[in-house]
Amino acid sequence: MPYWINCRQTPFPPLEQALRSPNGLLALGGDLSTERLVHAYRHGCFPWYSHGQPLMWWSPDPRTVLFPDELHIPRSLRKTLRSARFNISYDTDFAAVIRACAEPRQDGFGTWITTDMQDAYLQLHQQGLAHSVEVWQDGELAGGLYGIAMGQLFFGESMFARQPDASKVGFVTLVQDLLAAGFTLIDCQMPTAHLARFGARDIPRVRFQHYLQHHLDAPSRMDWSRRA
């Protein structure tokens, strides 16, 4: 049985206590306070649940990550990047990005970003911890993504696209900028074929914990003031 969190002060259990099936379910309950969310990411877990379910906290083993210096750009996307069809900005409209990520999709993903979740991450954004990438085409928001930045680690959460390749261009631009800023790892949480095409791969959870221990409080040179 997973561990129950009954109040804000209750700590997360050790990651080794996460279930094998479903892979990584660590705890249930608690809240989405800024304090709780910051502690979760620093501890190595993240919230993921559907409407009508209790809050679920996950720490899968293995963990899917992307090392910025291992970024692979598919040949078909290189042409789009050279065309300069899209303009990229950071933190220009975080609320619009997370709302778009929450919209239902044909693949079924997106609906887990509840209104409470949106409010919680907006609070993190206002604290300077959550960041958005906006992809613009002709002045309209064509795609984007958001996540958490701590030290030299970026914890990716979700992305969306309203135009072909929009979110991909935003993601590649972000990874290149994170690499230039000295980031060592991007947490992708769970494996997907989409992220694997960019070089994401699985590492043991114990190795992921090593990166948390050594890079969470390391200095970062990332400039989040980029504007389209």
Q: Model confidence over 42-76: pLDDT tens digits?
A: 999 999 997 778 999 999 999 999 999 999 999 99
Q: Model confidence over 194-224: pLDDT tens digits?
A: 999 999 999 999 999 999 999 999 999 999 9
157: confidence class by pLDDT, cuts 50, 70, 90: very high
| pLDDT value at residue 106 | 63
| pLDDT value at residue 53 | 85
Helix (H, G, I), strand (E, B) or coil at 194: helix
pLDDT of 84 over the 80 cut: yes
CA dihedral sign, ordered 52, 55, 59, 64: positive
Q: Judge if 148 and 43 occupy the same domain.
A: no
Q: Judge if 207 and 122 occupy the same domain.
A: yes
DSSP sequence for 153-175: EEEEEEEEESSTTHHHHHHHHHH
State how beta strands 201-203 and 63-66 pair.
antiparallel
| CATH number, residue 54 | 3.30.70.3550
Per the structure, the complete domain to which residue 18 belongs is given by 3-61
Q: Judge if 95 and 108 occupy the same domain.
A: yes
DSSP sequence for 87-119: EEEESS-HHHHHHHHHS--TTSTTTTS-HHHHH
Q: Judge if 117 and 202 occupy the same domain.
A: yes
Decide if 225 is inside a domain.
no
CA dihedral sign, ordered 17, 18, 21, 27: positive
Q: Judge if 74 and 171 occupy the same domain.
A: yes
Q: What is the mean pLDDT of residues 82-110?
A: 87
Q: Judge if 40 and 78 occupy the same domain.
A: no
Decide if 133 is inside a domain.
yes
pLDDT of 156 over the 70 cut: yes
Number of compact structural domains in the chain: 2
Tell me how far CA of residue 136 lies from CA of 66, 163, 192, in angstroms: 25, 10, 25
- Mean pLDDT of all residues in the chain? 94
Decide if 106 is inside a domain.
yes
Q: Model confidence over 161-195: pLDDT tens digits?
A: 999 999 999 999 999 999 999 999 999 999 999 99
More confident: 19 or 10: 19
| pLDDT value at residue 33 | 95
Helix (H, G, I), strand (E, B) or coil at 202: strand
State both tokens at 122: 């907006």
Helix (H) / strand (E) element for 210: namely helix 205-215
pLDDT of 110 over the 60 cut: no
What percent of the chain is predicted at pLDDT more than 70? 96
107: confidence class by pLDDT, cuts 50, 70, 90: low
| pLDDT value at residue 6 | 82
Q: Judge if 69 and 137 occupy the same domain.
A: yes
| pLDDT value at residue 34 | 96
Decide if 227 is inside a domain.
no
| pLDDT value at residue 1 | 75
